[in-house]
Amino acid sequence: MSELTLAEYEREKDAEMSRIWDSFLPFYSQYYWHKNWKNEWTVAYYHGPRIKWMKLIKEKKNERRARRK
């Protein structure tokens, strides 16, 4: 069994954290409006794989205006 230096330990720890994060990535979090049982509009949250109705925000309006000029 070999001993790890601090740099090697941190590299392995970073690699493990990136593996954990990569396994989380195919999921999206999004909120949307829906009516509850009292017929009031409320915010609902969805976390899971992307489905067809989800619209991902790609750029902001200010960035679009700046690009046009």
Instruction: With respect to residue 1, please indicate whether it lies within any of the assigned structural domains.
Output: no
Instruction: Supply the pLDDT for residue 56.
Output: 63
What distance in Å separates the CA atoms of residue 51 and residue 30, rounded to the nearest whole number?
Answer: 11
Nearest to 28 by CA among 58, 54, 55, 49: 49
Give tens-digit pLDDT for 17-53: 777 666 666 777 788 889 999 999 999 988 877 777 6
**Confidence (pTM):** 0.38
Phi, psi of 43, deg, nearest 5: -90, 135
Tokens at residue 1, please?
């069994």
Instruction: Supply the pLDDT for residue 40.
Output: 94
Instruction: Supply the pLDDT for residue 42.
Output: 94
- pLDDT higher than threshold 90 for residue 11: no
For residue 6, what are the CA distances in angstroms to 2, 16, 20? 13, 15, 21
Instruction: With respect to residue 25, please indicate whether it lies within any of the assigned structural domains.
Output: yes
Number of domains in the chain: 1
Q: Residue count of the chain, please give it.
A: 69
Phi, psi of 52, deg, nearest 5: -60, -35
| Residue 11 domain boundaries | 6-68
